[in-house]
Amino acid sequence: MSRPIPSVATPPAAATDQHARDGDQRGDDAVDLGRRLWWWLPPIAVTVAVQLWLAAKDTVASIDGMAYLEAGEHLFAGDGFVRQGRPETHFPPVGPVALGLLEKVTGSELAAVRIFDVASIVTVVALLD
């Protein structure tokens, strides 16, 4: 009995079975990712909503935030990285630089803090996944 000669266009049965298994695996991964996203969606939505609500209020919730803002104001006013007349050595410069820049752009301390708060929480939530 003679065997048919395999052609290049049709892969052997073992390869076809392997691709089918790989396809099923990729499908399962997509389903798992979808389930994970639905699990995290409510906490993410609540977190973002609370942050937006807090940012819309007319108060600043943090003493540290005021220290960042003061150091950033002094930096962009040309006084250097200082707070209360002394060099700032307690806080790293990323927050103060961002707040000082936002204040320069918006012209408002409150707007700068609101934008920084929302941007920072959105960044943290995005990094969770």
Q: How far apart are CA 90 and CA 80, in angstroms?
A: 15
Query: CB-based contacts of 41: which residues, under 8 Å, 6+ apart?
Result: none
The verdict on pTM exceeding 0.85 is no
Which parts of the chain have pLDDT scores under 70? 1-31, 33-34, 36-37, 55, 57-62, 129
pLDDT in the model for residue 126: 83
CB 56 within 8 A of CB 114: yes
pLDDT in the model for residue 27: 56
pLDDT in the model for residue 69: 85
pLDDT in the model for residue 101: 93
